[in-house]
Each structure stands twice: as C-alpha cells, then as structure tokens.
Amino acid sequence: MKTYQAKTVEEALEQASKELGFEVEQLIYQVEDKKRGLFTKKVVVNVFEMTDVIRYAEDYILGITDALEIDASVNTKLDDENNIIHLTVESIHNPILIGKNGKTLQSLNELVKTAVNSHFHHRFRILVDIGGYKDKKYEKLIRVARRYAFKVAKTKQDYTFEPMPADERRAIHNAINNIRHVKSESIGEGNKRQVKLIYVE
C-alpha cells in the first residue's frame, strides 16, 4: 500500500498514476478523512496493489478455516487475461468445506468476494476452489452442456439448466460457443440465474 496526499482526490490519484504507471481507472484505492491544517486541507488516498488484495483474501479464508478449527493452506493464481483471482484451498477436511453439491463452497466464495470488495471498495472477480472440485465440476458441465446443445440443434427444442453460479454458467457458455444453430443466454435474477440453450436457424 502507498499513501498519497493532495488538495483533491483527483490530484492524489494523478500522482499515483504517474508513479505506478497505471491509468487512474485501474487504481485500487481508499480515501481517508481529510486532514486540515491551519491554512490548508489535504486529502489522503491509500493506493493498493493486487498483492494487497490477494493477501487480504487469503487471510480472510484462513481466518474462516481457523474458526472452524480446520488446518488449511491457500494457493493463489491471478488470471490476468480474464482478471480473475483464483484461490485454491487445500485441507484434510475438503468435503466439509465443499458441502453437499458444492453449496458450502459456493457460500464461501460469495463470502470472500463480498468481504474483499467491501474492504477495498472495488469489484473483483474471485473464484474459490477446494481441492480441485471446481475443475472437475467444469469438466462434467462441459460434457453435459455439449450433449444438450447437440440435442437442441437436432430437436429444435430449447433447454434450460438448473440455477448455478456465474463461473459455472460461464463454463457452459464457452463450451457451446461454436456449436451451430445453438446459442446460450443467462436468464433469471440473483442466485436463480440459469443458462438457457436456444435453437437458432
């Protein structure tokens, strides 16, 4: 974290932009209370790097596992192309952290994402996985999605999946992207969002 002071937030961010080599829109920052002197007032802006965000996310997850008295480790990878922070948790109690049909893992993912976004006042794409569970789930989803997509192309009857998280919907969209006469759309709101496979001429 680096701290910048100026008369306005814009000036502080401009200083940070020049020093760090990022566009102002790319900066992750928090504005502290204004410091007032006898004749001047200054704005204090804390600018964070992605390593600060990752460290906070890792510590947050480990805080949860410690509270559950579960020994765990976290391995993090940053997907620069898609701007996603991948956090993989490993422990001897993976099934507990995953939960039935991945429900506990899904809740953990939402909790971590909400905590990080709230702390940094910035929207991050975060994906938490437990022992490779998500990768196996994606492989299964891709197989199922392609099978139903070919069925839609053949029967001309649309198909709608059960509600699922955004990352799983994305896996389906990517899986059927090049299948002729079929397109996919996300429908519904909140945690009831679903993927619909639609026949197109």
pLDDT tens readout for residues 107-157: 999 999 999 999 888 889 999 999 999 989 999 999 999 999 999 999 999
Residues 52-60, mean pLDDT to the nearest whole number: 94
How buried is 115 (Cβ within 10 angstroms: 0-12 exposed, 13-18 middle, 19+ buried)? middle
The tokens 């990080």 sit on which residue?
116
| H/E stretch holding 12 | helix 9-20
Torsion of CA 20, 58, 111, 3, to 10 degrees: -30
pLDDT band at 64 (very low <50, low <70, confident <90, very high): very high
Going across the sheet that includes 125-130, the strands are 72-79, 84-91, 125-130
Q: Which two tokens stand for residue 200?
A: 């197109």
pLDDT value for 34: 66
pLDDT value for 32: 75
Residues 85-102, mean pLDDT to the nearest whole number: 92
DSSP β-bridge partners for residue 159: 197
- With a pLDDT cut of 90, the percent of the chain lying above it is 59
pLDDT band at 188 (very low <50, low <70, confident <90, very high): very high
pLDDT value for 8: 80
- With a pLDDT cut of 70, the percent of the chain lying above it is 96
In angstroms, the CA 140 to CA 42 distance is 55
In angstroms, the CA 62 to CA 56 distance is 10
